[in-house]
Structure 1
Amino acid sequence: MTKPVNRVGLMLAAALGLCVLAGEAGAATRVAVFDFELLDTSSEVDIRGPKPEEMRRLALITDEVKRRMAAAGYDIVDLAPAKARIEDATPFRNCNGCELPIARDIGANIEVIGLVQKVSNLILNINFQIRDVETGQVLRAGSADIRNNTDESWLRGVSYLVRNRLLDPPPTGKAAP
């Protein structure tokens, strides 16, 4: 005589197995999120470099991208061991992929680089690019125009990009088939 199958128990076990697999897959994707850079093409450009509040905002949005990616289950790679190499290579917008070996050497599967272009104190553009560290292939890119040079507008722009471009669908480090 056979025992009746406990379908609820089987469904719960299968769901738990899928959650474990999904957790392992998410944790396996290691991400190097490089600091966002500023390209000031406005008439306010200062030869001494970016204004202190804009440097703070660059750090603010970089940290926000890291926070949101970590909350989505990605393992954010510590860039501190590569600090000198990063400083030598920046700005990344001018180096034609020189950050890829850095990301590879610190164990990342994918990298995120970003740029804020300041057209004026009212018009700014936040851009990012995700690349597969192994192949250098661009997996996804996005851009958002923002109005007003404030913490709130920068965070709103990055929030839009993360929700609608960076994490939708979740990056895996491999190009879609």
Structure 2
Amino acid sequence: MRLRASPSRLRSALAALALAPALAIASGSAAVAEEAARKAAIFPAEVNDPTLAYGRKPLPADQKRLELVTDGLRKQLVEKGGLESVDLGPQAEEIRKESPLYKCNGCTGPIAKALGAELAVTAFADKGANQLFSLVVVIAEAETGKVVRQGQVVIRANTDDDWSHAVRWIVKNRLLAEPLPGRS
């Protein structure tokens, strides 16, 4: 018995066969992307400046640079690290209460967990002098506090560009030199 298909049915069947691998790849990569996006609480960068009296806020120029660091870190970790940054708003009061976070002895893990994040990302600049600072960034598991990645860079300058460069360098050469655990 011989089956006959009309030319239009044959074209439709061939088109469906041609699209099947592309659809399978697209749906598979969407599932992988969804599975791979780990949530991270990326906390605002802070400064340890021994020239400031206890409780005083950083100078406006340094505060602006800390915001540059936070924004740059968030952008790079989302775009290049495949992380999903969670909104810190619901825990703003707790963050304010525990600040400075680099001295809080593990308080970032519970805060990150409360926000639904798997990872806690902290950054602080340790200013030694006006023209010298060290930027330290730590990525830790929210559940255990185990450090997943850590990096430090010393910069001997003090402009917005220098601080932005420090963030780019530390992300590229320390934090994401290898894929983050749990990512391929």
Tell me the TM-score range normalised by the shorter chain.
0.7 to 0.9
The TM-score with structure 2 as length reference comes to 0.81
| Superposed displacement of residue 70, structure 1 | 2.1
- Given residue 145 of structure 1, which amino acid in structure 2 is its aligned partner? V
The question of whether the paired residues in 1 share the 8 Å contact of 2:108 and 2:142 is answered with no
1:57-76 → structure 2 map (5 Å cutoff):
57-72=65-80, 73-76=82-85
Paired residue for 2:52, among 46, 51, 56? Answer: 46
Residue identity matched to 1:21: A
Q: How does 1:4-15 map to 2 (within 5 A)?
A: 12=22, 15=25
Corresponding residue number in structure 2 for 1:16: 26
Q: Which runs of 5+ in 1 are unaligned?
A: 1-7
CA distance in 1, matches of 2:119, 2:45: 16
Distance in structure 2 (CA, Å) of the matches to 1:59 and 1:106: 21
Residue type at the aligned position of 2:125: V
- Partner-residue secondary structure (3-state), 1:85: helix
What residue in structure 1 maps to residue 172 of structure 2?
163
The number of equivalent residue pairs is: 169
- One of 88, 113, 116 as aligned partner of 2:122: 113
Percent identity between the two aligned chains: 33
Q: Which runs of 5+ in 2 are unaligned?
A: 1-17
Name the Cα RMSD after superposition. 2.6
What TM-score do the two structures reach when normalised by structure 1? 0.84
Give the AA of the match of 2:52.
Answer: D
Shift of 1:171: 2.2
Give the secondary structure class of the aligned counterpart of 2:129: coil
Opposite residue 154 of structure 1, the aligned amino acid is W
